[in-house]
Amino acid sequence: MNEVDLNGLLKRAAMTTPNALLPSTDFAFMEKLRCDIGRARRLHFLVRLILIGSLLSGVATAGAVCWKLASRDKTHTTPPTMRLFREAPSA
C-alpha cells in the first residue's frame, strides 16, 4: 500500500463515520492510546536493556578471550638476545 492508497482509505473512513459517534469513541481512543504509549515505552526499555546487555557481554567476552590469549603468549617474557652477544667479535 502506498501513500495515495492510504490517503484514500483514510478519507473514505472519515466520510463514512457518523459524527454522532465521534465524541463517544474519542475517550476510548485516547485511553487506548495512553495504554499503547505505556506498552511502547516498556518495549523500548526492554529493547534497550537487551542491546546494552548484549554489548556488555560481547565486550566482556572479547576481553576474556584477549586476556587468555595474552597470558599464554610467551613472546615477550624473555628479551631477545642481542647480536653483539651472540657472535664472537672478529679481530
Per-residue pLDDT at 86 exceeds 80? no
pLDDT digits (tens, 9 = 90+) for 40-76: 889 999 999 999 999 999 999 999 999 999 888 887 7
- Residues with Cβ within 8 Å of residue 2, at least 6 apart in sequence: none
Which whole number is the average pLDDT over 1-15? 80
pLDDT at 46: 96
Which whole number is the average pLDDT over 23-33? 70
More confident residue, 61 or 18: 61
Rounded to the nearest integer, the mean pLDDT of the chain is: 80
For the chain, what are the domain ranges? 29-55
